Amino acid sequence: MAGALEGVKIVGFEQVVGVPAATAVLADWGADIIKIEPIWGDWQRSLVSFNRGPLLLHLEKGEIELHFEFLNRSKRSVAINVRTEQGREILHRLLEDADIFASNYSTDVLERFGLDYPSLKDRYPGLIHFLLTGYGSKGPKAKDRGYDYVAAWSYGGLMDLVSADPNSPPPIQRPGMMDLVASAHITSGLLAALYYKQRTGKGQGLELSLYHTAAWTLGLDIQTALYGHPQPKWDRRRAANPMYTSYRCKDGRWCMMCHPNQDYWEPFCKAIGKEEWIDDPRYATMESREQRAEEMIALLDEILASKTWPEWEKEFRANDLIVSGNQTISEILKDEQAIVNNFYTDIEHPVAGKARLLNSPVQFTDTPAEIRWVAPQLGAHTEEVLLEHGYTWEDMAQFKEQGAIP
């Protein structure tokens, strides 16, 4: 069955996580993603994880890099040396009928090779040009390199806000976490630009920074601060609403509850076996609970520690409350809720054998998203794509002699 974006051609001059994550979703939705890699490959292919051992698996039939597999399924890899004149000419040939050119290389790299928006807009008036930067293309940090750990998590304020204890080191985000947040904005922006192109025939330039992504992610905090009312950092022991924080159960499992208004007070009291609290003036209203929040949270700590999470879950579900126990990654892999809602695809991998991949989140009724094939080997589709674009085998032999393709 054809995907929703069948017929859309995207040239991804991309690396690592931010843009590849977005084009992976668009590939799931049926777009033809031509991934342009240097002849030595996207460096994600050979990345090794800090502190947690290698992500590069050396298997009997070859090597696979686990993050690369996730980020580059259903794409076609074309290896080109854009440092050569012939390599740049090949890339321009691919852009002639492309709908989108998407990149997260730095602005100076794009300018050096004539791949920035000002250099391409007149030559390809129907081309949508997308750029992901660290901090934006203007201002004193415009030329700074910036992965999501530094440009979004740290500089963008997230690391500060989730650091409740000033005496403890701040937490570090998970790998690629803010890049994956950015990928949702990239995807939505490209779809809006495609709609505009459909109506007008015109392409345009789009830009997103990791820094702005972080600011939007913290939008509720930033907007209140813009009005002069910055919000305090979260401290579970002093949460203004004791029914809107986390608690540890007898088995060590933490649970998170989210009860934002008075409607949940009576069923909450019934669930925890404290029906005498329902009309107790010390706790009966949102205002009184806020005034006694620290006291009440200490009491609830003791109460929640008296039963295991499975025991509490039965009580909370019976009273229609909004609570969940925290899950580990290993539990999510086996979770029935994830499995029946199509979180995973089983696929035959030429190197790893049977493999399971995480699906992109949006579910379609008529044009279902699909992982069509696993991430390609470096340059696996170079000859195929060049033949499609009018080159001959003789041309490719010459390109190899010139060092334009491997």
Report d(CA 174, CA 215) in Å as an integer.
Answer: 18
Catalytic annotation on 346?
Answer: no
Are 250 and 256 a contacting pair, CB within 8 Å? no
Helix axes 177-200, 210-217, angle to 10 degrees: 100
CA atoms 5, 6, 7, 11: torsion sign: positive
Cα 223 from Cα 230, distance rounded (Å): 8
Which of 32, 42, 99, 179 is catalytic? The answer is: 179
Q: How many Cβ atoms are within 10 Å of 195's Cβ, its own excluded? A: 10
Confirm if 110 and 130 have CB atoms less than 8 A apart.
Answer: no
Rounded CA-CA distance 205/203 in Å is 7
- Could you give the angle at the alpha carbon of 141 between the alpha carbons of 139 and 144, nearest 5°? 145
Q: How far apart are CA 399 and CA 391, in angstroms?
A: 10
Whole-number Å distance between alpha carbons of 191 and 26: 9
Active site residues: 179
